[in-house]
Amino acid sequence: MERNSGNDRACWVLVGGRRRLGRALAEDLARDHDLVLTSSEPWTGEAWVDGLSKTGRIRTLQWDAESPDLVSRMMADLDTLETQGWVISGAVILAGSFPENPFGTWTAEALEATWRLNLGFPFLCAQALAPRMSEGSCLQILLDTSIHRPWLQRLPYSAAKAGLASLVPGLAQLLAPEVRVVGHALGVLLPQEGSDAAWLGSRTLLNRIGDPADLCRAVRFAADSPFLTGEILTQDGGRRWVDR
């Protein structure tokens, strides 16, 4: 569905722009951007999206990593956007999951599911989006501080993020000079329900967890830094320098 129309603001695509950090980033960027938001589920009942349309254009799409028609669906949607005059000047790939897969419980099915959403899906999204992005734009990919210190109860997830860490400089080389690529290795910004935020904060040099606003500032910084590409910006409060 599409809401509102008719201005010349920059258009960004947020893959996984529906929940948690994705929603926070969408609400921040909507102040001065037109947005294309994707989700694996239908967008019915998302009243907050209607609020975003008061300032600019909002288009919502359904891109499901589990769908066998994913690639053709993405290409068709991007063709439609191009036909309708949407010029993509930025994209952020946020989609992912955070499953526990302790050593000894791994199965082929569980590993495939973790890697499909956290590794394969971002690869396919980057491949679909990059050729449609305008010259000078920035493709940004969310990673995790686990690329520095793997989560031992989530090693398959950590391995997927390590794969994305290789994608960032690789894509930067493939897409230069037209499109820049920047990654974001994040610590805890939105703890899971039931998590002990105070304990998580005590595991950082700053003795606190982060905030979605930290991501928003970093995304805007990367977009506005024309000499920045191939780099991964880490925001983890210094977690990787704290002894276990």
What is residue 54's three-state secondary structure? Answer: coil
Q: Please state whether the predicted TM-score (pTM) of the whole model is above 0.85.
A: yes
In the predicted model, residues of the chain with pLDDT beneath 70 are 1-7, 244
Buried b (16+ CB within 10 A) or exposed e, 48-81: ebeebbeebbbbbbebbbeeeebeebbeebbeeb
Task: Determine which helix (DSSP H) or strand (DSSP E) holds 166, and give its type and residue range.
Answer: helix 155-175
Q: What domain count does the chain have?
A: 1
Model confidence pLDDT, tens digit, residues 71-120: 999 999 999 999 999 999 999 999 999 999 999 999 999 999 999 999 99
The reported pLDDT for the residue numbered 54 is 83
The token pair at 140 is 């940004």
Q: Please, is 21 exposed, middle or buried when counting C-beta atoms within 10 Å of its C-beta (0-12, 13-18, 19+)? A: buried
pLDDT of amino acid 195: 84
Q: Say if residues 58 and 33 touch (Cβ distance below 8 Å).
A: no
Q: Which domain holds residue 196?
A: 2-241
What's the distance, CA 148 to chain centroid? 18
pLDDT digits (tens, 9 = 90+) for 218-238: 999 999 999 999 999 999 999
- Give the CATH number of the domain where residue 28 resides: 3.40.50.720
